[in-house]
Structure 1
C-alpha cells in the first residue's frame, strides 16, 4: 500500500487514464510530466540572485554592435 492507495485503486485509476487518453498519448503525457518536474526542481534549487556582471561574450557583442553603428 503506497500512501493509503492499494493495488486495486491504482489499477482502476490506470484503466480510467487509458480510456480517457488512449495508449498512444501516455508516453507524451509522461514526458511532459517529467519535463515539468525537472523544471520545478531546477527552479527551486537555483539561487534567487541573478548574476548581471558583463562577461567576455557580452562585451564582444557590444563592441561588434558599436563597430556596425559607426
Structure 2
C-alpha cells in the first residue's frame, strides 16, 4: 500500500510540474513574439519617417526652385 501511495503522489505531482513548465514556455514564446513585433514596428516607423523626410526635402527643394525661377523671371 505504501508503494502505491508514493506512485500516486508522483503521478499527481507530474502534471502540475509539466503545467508550470508549459506556462513558462508559453510566457517565453509570447515575450519573444512581442519583441519581434516591437522590432518590426520600430523598423517600419523608421522607414516611414525616412520616406516622409525625403518627401519633405523634395518639396522644400522643389519650392525653392520655383522661388528662384520666379525671382529670375
Give TM-score scaled by structure 1 length.
Answer: 0.36
Larger radius of gyration: 2
- The normalised TM-score by structure 2 is 0.34
Structure showing the higher helix proportion among its residues: 2
